């Protein structure tokens, strides 16, 4: 694993942008894997303000809540529209279809999307419990797209985006660990001391489903882009 540590999240986002920019300039971003959450917002802002053009690229997002329409302001589809696609449209953008309750159909369809669009660069955040996407602790490393019941800690962490915790959807569709590991390159961003323990376990701990991100130790091209607080236990 390559580890880049910057003093602040702003500086770390600039480093992440430099990686994206470099790949885009060399036409190596045909398919970009994208993440939601607060962590990539600085990166997306820099992309919005750049002169990069993704109109010939495809995006695939990690996950989507089950039960929300793409037009729902709490959906990840809406989040991406607001923070990136409105300014930087891609040729096509894929999400698991959160509006469809038929998990077997949705997950099969999304696995086909991923097979047809191999990811050049996957952007990841990390949960305080080490989750990547919505792959919570205990998820099989062999998993492909699947439906997950969110853990209480993830529901609590995401409740800040909702008026009250009861509104947080209880299920999501997510790319699996194997789907993420199939990406050619991965950058994982983590900011703040609340991520420090998860980063420490991801980098120095055993590779175990108890810490889903620990599997990244086995990926050939992973860069962690951290602020000082997230790196404070390394
Ligand atoms: P965050 O979420 O960027 O909002 O901290 C990251 C995650 O849970 O994967």
Tell me whether residue 92 is one of the annotated catalytic residues.
no
Establish whether residue 37 lines the binding site of ligand 1, counting it when its CB lies within 6 angstroms of any ligand atom: yes
- Divide the 234 residues of the chain into consecutive groups of 10 and give the mean pLDDT of each group: 98 98 96 97 98 97 95 94 98 98 98 98 96 94 96 84 87 97 98 98 98 98 98 98
Question: Residue of the nearest CA to atom 4 in ligand 1?
Answer: 37
Q: How far is the CA of 117 from the centre of ligand 1 (A)?
A: 24
Establish whether residue 127 lines the binding site of ligand 1, counting it when its CB lies within 6 angstroms of any ligand atom: yes
The whole-number pLDDT of residue 46 equals 98
Q: How far is the CA of 125 from the centre of ligand 1 (A)?
A: 5
Task: List, as own/partner pairs, every contact residues 68-72 make where C-beta atoms lie below 8 angstroms and the sequence separation is at least 24, other chains included.
Answer: 68/98, 68/99, 68/169, 69/98, 69/99, 70/95, 70/98, 70/99
pTM: 0.96
Q: How far is the CA of 105 from the centre of ligand 1 (A)?
A: 27
Q: How far is the CA of 37 from the centre of ligand 1 (A)?
A: 5
Question: Residue of the nearest CA to atom 1 in ligand 1?
Answer: 37
Catalytic residue among 61, 129, 135, 158: 129
Catalytic residue among 6, 64, 120, 136: 136
Tell me whether residue 158 is one of the annotated catalytic residues.
no
The whole-number pLDDT of residue 188 equals 98
Tell me whether residue 131 is one of the annotated catalytic residues.
yes
Establish whether residue 130 lines the binding site of ligand 1, counting it when its CB lies within 6 angstroms of any ligand atom: no
The whole-number pLDDT of residue 157 equals 82
Q: What is the separation of C-alpha 193 from the centre of its chain, rounded to a whole number of angstroms?
A: 19
Q: What is the separation of C-alpha 179 from the centre of its chain, rounded to a whole number of angstroms?
A: 12
Pairing type for strands 185-190 and 222-227 reads parallel
The whole-number pLDDT of residue 166 equals 87
Catalytic residue among 6, 63, 97, 229: 63
Distances (CA, A) of 66 to 69, 107, 176, 186: 9, 12, 16, 25
Tell me whether residue 27 is one of the annotated catalytic residues.
no
DSSP state string for 31-79:
EEEE--SSTTHHHHHHHHHS----TT-EEEESEEETT--TTSTTSHHHH
Pairing type for strands 185-190 and 121-124 reads parallel
């Amino acid at each position: 694993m390559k580890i880049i540590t910057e003093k602040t999240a702003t500086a770390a986002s600039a480093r992440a942008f430099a990686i994206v920019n470099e790949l885009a300039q060399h036409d190596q971003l045909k398919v970009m894997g994208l993440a939601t959450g607060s962590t990539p917002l600085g990166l997306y802002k820099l992309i919005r303000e750049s002169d990069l053009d993704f109109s010939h690229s495809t995006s695939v997002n990690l996950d989507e809540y089950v039960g929300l329409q793409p037009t729902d302001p709490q959906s990840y589809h809406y989040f991406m529209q607001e923070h990136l696609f409105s300014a930087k449209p891609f040729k096509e953008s894929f999400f698991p279809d959160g509006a469809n309750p038929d998990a077997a159909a949705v997950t099969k369809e999304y696995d086909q999307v991923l097979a047809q669009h191999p990811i050049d660069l996957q952007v990841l955040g990390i949960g305080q419990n080490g989750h990547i996407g919505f792959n919570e602790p205990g998820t099989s490393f062999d998993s492909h797209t699947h439906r997950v019941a969110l853990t209480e800690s993830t529901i609590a962490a995401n409740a800040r985006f909702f008026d009250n915790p009861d509104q947080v959807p209880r299920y999501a569709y997510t790319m699996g660990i194997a789907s993420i590991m199939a990406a050619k390159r991965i950058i994982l961003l983590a900011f703040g001391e609340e991520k420090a323990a998860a980063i420490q376990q991801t980098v120095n701990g055993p590779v175990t489903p108890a810490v889903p991100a620990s599997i990244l130790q086995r990926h050939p091209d992973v860069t962690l882009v951290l602020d000082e607080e997230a790196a404070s236990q390394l």
